Structure 1
Amino acid sequence: MRPLTGPEELDLFRSLPYALNDELAGDLAEGRRKPSWMWVALHGDRVLARVAWWSRPGDAVPLLMDVFDLDDAGAAGPDPFDAGVRLLRAALPAVPADGARPEYLRFVPPGWRTDPVERRAVENRMAALERTGARLLVERLRWEWTPRDAAAPPDRERDAAAPSGPARDGLTPPGPVRTPTALTPTALTFRPPRDREELLTLMTSVLDGTLDAHSRAELGRMSARAAAVRQYEEELVRYRSPREWWRVAVSPGGEPVGFVIPARNDYHAIIAYLGVVPTHRGKGYADALLAEGTRVLTAQGVPRIRAATDLGNVPMSNAFRRAGYRDFEGRIDMTWD
């Protein structure tokens, strides 16, 4: 049980398959991972289990545990499950944490429960983590919009012109890009937030009645205002994309009714956050906000837009589907708090 000695052991670490393997080298090079945060359980030169943490570039402590794998090949020798539990117990105390242990995230295929092989792999990893005190916090859906697979718009939608020039990842979408627009109130106008306080006030308001599991957990530990400030300072302002992309939706009477945060993280263009104030829910404003956020990002020529929402947040999932997003992947979130 040990951490990697350096980047030269990356091939050893990548001997177990997972969706993030192709990103590990770039993460190490750009300071999102450290060899001391990447541990393996070895039997000779065979990796029985591995675990790794991720941070924002240059941070001293990790933000997430996003890799935990067992050797599912069924080869003779020590039990990978037991090795995985022992690896977790060795690595968890050795990796620095700022208070509570970082959450564990795992990407899972759509319909993973109906595939016996995938289900066994996911449940074995969850069971090993539970041996160390972790519990399931929430299952989430990951969404993606691309010009190629965007749904054909309803009658009251319109086509947006294709972005000029190549996309930032070197791809140029073919032909006109179908960008979703609001299905309901077209009288809304959009503008950037006037200042930090306006956005924080809206973020505080939308936490009333939220369906988001992470937000609900935070509201059990702090006030809505404190939770909004924390998300603003620890997430939103750290995106490298311009804050001029952010949008507040305003009613014909001049009242802010919600907001959307289009952004770009270290990997993709994203819809980072979308909220409708409680007194204006049920009016279709989520559709309008999502359409505006998507429009802002497609104007930058991005080849894809990603987003995520809790599996149980049916209203938001329906909004993504109406806007032409597809749920391409799931995510398991576990926590030790």
Structure 2
Amino acid sequence: MTELVFRALADESEFPLFDRITTLPTSGVGARSRTFAEFVGEGDYRPAWVWIAQRGAEIVARAAFWGPPDTEHPWALDFFDFDTVETGAALLEAAYAALVTPGYQSPIGPRPEYNLFLPADWRERPDAKADADARIGAAEKAGLDFHVERLNLRWEREYGLPPGSTRLMFSPVTDDQVLLDLLANIVTGSLDAGDLRELRTRTPRDVAAETLTMIADMPGGRHRWRLAHDTSGELVGMVMPTRNTASATIGYIGVDHRHRGHGYAYDLLAEAMHIFAAEGEPSITDATDVGNAPMAAVFEKIGYRVTGRRMLFS
């Protein structure tokens, strides 16, 4: 039998190999909003971060890692397909061993985070569940651990714009120290799985500082960020509307833990939606943890729709 070879692509001329894989799910598991070739056309992937398992001329597994243009290391694994769980796991082991060097750094975690994209109803469909279970099994066999399941959400202009807040006053962010103090109070008692994980080993202010840096580095800039005060002048929350490489998105949203229980997250989200609408944005894509029921309820109430789910492994 021909030897199985695990390797990264040599250069950009090999990108077409990635789409020559012999086995792809038809259930929607792993599906992205665009094809791999379309992402490559926009400069989203580097050959050295795109891995294949090759048996002769046959491509039997593939894995594509992504990171922002100016970063040294990949942040996420976004495409992962294979013919057998064993082959997939072996490909991940080889890729992670090569990419996660002693100097690896990422705001996401100690190694790239695997994003398993799923249909919203994947648990109810035998074909989707089988495809998802295979990828979960391969990831775990390669040493990755389940972190959280998230809802993928989308709002489009045709769904209708919610009314703006009448009980909060909004102002641009002009002082990073004020923002950092507020963010530290927001992550305290947070239900966000990422915040909770970071808080096990770090202070709220350290987590806040990293959040600020990460959102500031996104393509959308910071001119849309807003602080929110109540009618007495108390600073109660903030929202950081921005853009990722594909669309408008809420980079971060939160209410000071001392002011929770008043439904302010709805007002904050509505303000961000009005900012985007004024810019002519046709849609907004976001996500929230399945376990963060209050925030998921806010997205539903304000008019977002669930477009899928995403499981994260690290």
Instruction: Please state if 1:289 is matched with 2:268.
Output: yes
Q: How does 1:84-233 map to 2 (within 5 A)?
A: 84-97=88-101, 98=104, 100-148=110-158, 150=159, 178-181=160-163, 186-233=166-213
Q: Which residue of 2 aligns with 1:68?
A: 80
Deviations 1:254-290 (A, max 9, x none): 1110011111111110011110111211111111001
Q: Give the CA deviation at 1:96.
A: 4.1
- How far does residue 47 in structure 1 lie from its aligned partner after superposition? 2.0
Please report the TM-score for the alignment, with normalisation by the length of structure 1.
Answer: 0.83
Cα distance change, pair 318–21 in 1 and its aligned pair in 2 (3 A): closer
Distance across 2 between alignment mates of 1:297 and 1:226: 30
**Equivalent residue of 1:91, what SS?**
helix
**Does the Cα contact within 8 Å between 2:90 and 2:142 map onto a contact in 1?**
no
What amino acid is the match of 2:98?
Answer: A
2:67 to 55, 76, 88: 55
Give RMSD over aligned pairs. Answer: 1.8
Aligned match of 2:295 in 301, 316, 324?
Answer: 316
Indicate whether 1:6 and 2:11 are aligned: yes
**Counterpart of 2:219?**
240
Amino acid at match of 1:111: D
Aligned equivalents of 2:32 and 2:191: distance in 1? 28
**Does the Cα contact within 8 Å between 1:181 and 1:287 map onto a contact in 2?**
no
| Letter aligned with residue 132 of structure 1 | A
Q: Secondary structure in 1 aligned to 2:188? A: coil
Deviations 1:208-241 (A, max 9, x none): 11111111000011100001101111x1111232
Distance, in Å, in 2 between the alignment partners of 1:139 and 1:329 is 11
Q: In 1, distance between residues paired with 2:33 and 2:236?
A: 41
Q: Deviations over 1:50-72 (max 9, x none)?
A: 1111000131111111221123x
Could you report, residue by residue, the CA deviation over 1:72-127 in whole angstroms, capped at 9, with x for unpaired residues?
Answer: xxxxxxxx222112211221111245152111111111011111111111111111
Per-residue Cα deviation, 1:164-208 (whole angstroms, up to 9, x for no partner): xxxxxxxxxxxxxx31125xx622111112311111111100111
Residues 1:328 and 1:22: Cα distance change in structure 2 (over 3 Å): closer
Q: What do residues 134-182 of structure 1 show as CA deviations (whole Å, max 9, x unaligned)? A: 111000001100012x1xxxxxxxxxxxxxxxxxxxxxxxxxxx31125
Q: Partner letter of residue 249 of structure 2?
A: I
**Against the structure 1 CA distance between its residues 143 and 21, is the aligned structure 2 distance closer, same or farther, given a 3 Å change threshold?**
closer
Q: TM-score, normalised by structure 2?
A: 0.89
Q: Distance in 1 between matches of 2:33 and 2:224?
A: 31
Identity of aligned residues (%): 36
Distance in 1 of aligned mates of 2:112 and 2:187: 23
- What code does the residue aligned with 2:157 have? P
Counterpart in 2 of 1:156?
A: none
Sort the Cα spacing of 1:21 and 1:260 in 2 relative to 1 into closer, same or farther, 3 A.
Answer: closer
2:55 is matched with 43
The count of corresponding residues between Structure 1 and Structure 2 is 296
- Structure 1 residues not aligned, in runs of 5+: 72-79, 151-177
Mark the runs of 5 or more structure 2 residues left unpaired by the alignment: 1-5, 25-29
C-alpha change, 1:241 and 1:101, in structure 2 (3 Å) is: closer
1:276 and 1:286 in contact (8 A); partners too: yes
Find the aligned partners of 1:3 and 1:39 in 2 and give their Cα distance: 4
SS at match of 1:296: helix
Is 1:34 aligned to residue 14 of structure 2? Answer: no
Amino acid aligned to 2:192: D
Provide runs of 4+ in structure 1 moved above 3 Å.
Answer: 15-18, 20-32
1:46 and 1:263, CA in 2 relative to 1: closer, same or farther beyond 3 A? same
- The residue type equivalent to 2:251 in the other structure is A
